[in-house]
Each structure stands twice: as C-alpha cells, then as structure tokens.
Amino acid sequence: MKLFNKKRQSNSKIGVFTGISIVVANMIGTGVFTTLGFQLEKLNNTAVILTLWVFGGILALSGAFSYTEVGTFIRKSGGEYTFLSHIYCPVIGYLSGWISLTVGFAAPIALGVIAFTAYFPLHTSYPKVIAIALLIVVTCFHCRNLKVSSGFQNIFTLFKIALIVSMLCIGIFMPSNGGSPISLGQDYCTELISTAFAVSLIYVSYSYSGWNAAAYITEEFKNPVKALPVALIGGTVIVTVFYTLLQYVFLKHVPVSALTGRLNVGAITMEHILGESVAPVFGGAISLLLISGISAMVWIGSRVTASIASEYRLWSFFQQKENSVPVRALVLQGIISAFLIITGTFEQIMIYCGVLLSISSLLVVAGVFVLRYKNKQGYTFRTPLFPLFQIIFILASLWMIVFAFLNETKETLLGLLNLGFGLITYAISKRI
C-alpha cells in the first residue's frame, strides 16, 4: 500500500520538460511583443535597443543562477516568500509574498489579457469584458487538477515556440522592407549610460520576468535537485536568444517611427513583411501565444498564495485544496487581476509591478551571500564565477529602482504604499 501511494504521488508530480515549459511560458508573454514601442519613445539608437535586450537576458540568467542555488538548498515551493522567510526573517518573507499575492502575478496576468485583446484580430467596443472572460476561462482550466494544468500548459507553450520560430525564420531570411538599420552611431555610448536606458531596462526586466517561475513549485517536481537547474537556466537561455532575435526582426523590417508608442509591434512587423491580408492571421496567432504566459502565471501565482495561507491565519481560507489545486487562491488571484484590468493602464501596471518585483528578486539574489556565510555544506548547486552574477544583478536592480523612483515617481510611491498595506496585514495576522 505504501509503495502504491509513493508511485501515485510520483505520477502526480511534473518533470524537467514541464519545468522548462513553465519558465519559457512565464517569460515569453506580453513584454517581448509590446514594450519596444515604449522603449523607442526614450531611445533612438537601434544598437542600444539590442544591447538593452541582451543585457536584460544577462540579468535574467544572473538571477536564474542565484535562484537555482537558493532553491536547491531550501527545496520548498513558494518562491521569494519561502526563500526570504528562511534567509532573513518572517516579515521580509511575508512582504515578498504580499507582493506576489497582490501584484506579482495578478499584474502580469492583467497585462497578458490586455495585450491579448490588442492583438486579437476581432476588435469590440468592450475589450476589458473580453479580457476578463479570457481570465475566467484560463482560471477554470487550472481549477481542475495538476494533470489538466500540465497538459494545457505544455500544448500552448509548444504552440508559442513554434510560432516564434516561424516569425524568426520569416523575419531573418526575408529582405528588409524599409526598416531601421542596426548601427552603433555616435550616440551609442551616450544613450547606454542615460536615464532613458535605465527606465527602459525596467520594461525589459518585466519582459524577462518569469525566469524564476519554476522556483515557485519546487515541491511539485519529481526530482527538484536535478530538474530545477535545468528548468531555470535552460529556459532563461532559450528565451534570451528568442527575445534578442525578435527585436532584431522588428527593427529590421519596420521604421522606428511606425513602432514608437505602439503596443502591437509584432502584428505591425508581420504586416510590413507579409502585407495587410496576412498580418491579421499572425495577430490572432500572437494573441493565442499570450495564453501560454497567462496560463503559467495563473498556475504559479496561486501556489504562492496557498503557501502564505498555510502559515498565516488571516489568509487560511485560501489554503484549502481540491485535487491538489488551491482553487480558492486561484479565484482570489483572478479577482485581483480583474480589478487591475478595470482600473489601470498598461504602462502604469508595468512600471508599478516591475519595481516591486525587482525589490523581491534583489533580496533573494543578495541572500546567496547570507546562505553561503551561514551554511558551509548542503549545497547541490553553486553559481559559477561566484560572486560575479550576483554583483551584476544587484547593481543593475538598484540602478533600475533608483531611476524608476526619479522618473516614474507616482508608480514607485504606489508600490511603496502597497508594502505599507502589507505590513498592516502582517501585524493583523500575528494577532489572530
């Protein structure tokens, strides 16, 4: 009987492929197809744009190395909430969990469904209604069981990769059609160290967010010690290559003036390459591609809420699971995402979310130093070239946060206000 239960438990867990699928699906979402237009409002040099995306990939990889080291040492689900509670103290872990609960996943989900309506070829007068309807459908799929979630995720992720590879093949091999040449220019170094570059890096870091996705469900892997490094690092490398090449394709085929300030840069690019008659097909395909990222965030985010609920009585209502699925946590996350869809704009949500996520990730990466100081043994993975990647990540994160505060003060202050509310709920939960 014990052997049967052990086998059944093993079959209910996920493998390396699904882990990579989750990371890739979380990373490739709205950002790569929507943020270029905002970056071009502040930066003019096309080589700086490509440098921005390469640097974003290096930052994501630096974070992935650090999360792998921390995750294979602690080996518990919950992401930053679990890691920071273990490394520092419960209140810091709780605040990171509060960020995940309120905006860390709900905001990217909201951005994903907003972008879905922008790319979908059939437009209506009520895009927010369509966005919320999609949110409900995806959430319902993940309320079933882990097998349904895994199958749904893998199918849409494979579709996503196939579509991106086809776009890259078309864009790279087709001759340029009036696009912007990639050249360094005299202003390359000036823009590289500018305030605009730092602010644009927030958009790019948001686009790369999700490289840590597998760390949120460590306990759902069959063999987390082996699967987590492959999922986090392998998935990040794949996406970095895709992202950089996609920006090259966008800039190669479309003039900067036609992309600046536009949300649906992917559809605009395919229209320039293939013509107006074919472009709506790709627009529809890109909208379906976004479902994979929305699905992955819906899956992962609810697990963080459930982890918090298991330890704090204030949130205990959301702890209950059905078929190993935290249904109540999924519903709460859906309600918060719907609220953000109704009340916020795309750019405001992105900045607000990006700053808070940068703070949480910064603390985890800095925690590698703390863990190494406290624990001399017990590691199954150590970051190569330590502490190079940690220093790169910490300095870049501080740079982004400072410049965000100086240039996007309103959104940054809203983020700090959110943390203040988090402290209040922590105090209440400790008294219950």
For 182-197, write each residue's pLDDT tens digit: 777 778 888 888 888 8
Let me know: does 308 contact 76? Beta carbons within 8 Å. no
- Per DSSP, the three-state class of 14 is strand
Give the span between the Cα atoms of 315 and 376, in whole angstroms: 35
With 0-12 / 13-18 / 19 or more C-beta atoms within 10 angstroms meaning exposed / middle / buried, residue 114 is: buried
In a domain, 5, yes or no: no
In a domain, 8, yes or no: no
Give the span between the Cα atoms of 277 and 360, in whole angstroms: 45
Mean pLDDT of 163-171: 87
Which tens digit of pLDDT belongs to each residue from 408-419?
A: 777 778 777 888
Q: Is the pLDDT of residue 370 over 80?
A: yes
Write out the DSSP string of 180-214: ------TTHHHHHTSHHHHHHHHHHHHHHTTTTGG
In a domain, 186, yes or no: yes
Model confidence band, residue 349 (pLDDT cutoffs 50, 70, 90)? low
Give the span between the Cα atoms of 179 and 199, in whole angstroms: 25
In a domain, 1, yes or no: no
Supply the mean pLDDT for the chain.
Answer: 81
Please provide residue 248's backbone torsions phi and psi, each rounded to the nearest 5 degrees. -60, -45
Q: Is the pLDDT of residue 43 over 80?
A: yes
In a domain, 302, yes or no: yes
Which tens digit of pLDDT belongs to each residue from 279-325?
A: 677 767 777 777 877 887 887 788 888 888 888 888 888 887 777 77
In a domain, 7, yes or no: no
- Identify the domain containing residue 191 by its residue range: 14-431
Mean pLDDT of 157-170: 84
Let me know: does 162 contact 156? Beta carbons within 8 Å. no
Identify the pLDDT of residue 229.
Answer: 86
Let me know: does 392 contact 84? Beta carbons within 8 Å. no
Mean pLDDT of 255-280: 80
Identify the pLDDT of residue 179.
Answer: 66
Identify the pLDDT of residue 2.
Answer: 40
- In total, how many domains does the chain have? 1
Which tens digit of pLDDT belongs to each residue from 78-100?
A: 788 889 999 998 899 999 888 88
Identify the pLDDT of residue 378.
Answer: 65
Closest CA to 381 of 85, 75, 23: 75
Token reading at 338:
């719907």
- Per DSSP, the three-state class of 277 is coil
Identify the pLDDT of residue 387.
Answer: 92
In a domain, 322, yes or no: yes
Identify the pLDDT of residue 5.
Answer: 41
In a domain, 247, yes or no: yes
Identify the pLDDT of residue 256.
Answer: 84
Identify the pLDDT of residue 30.
Answer: 65
In this structure, what CATH number is given to the domain that contains residue 195? 1.20.1740.10
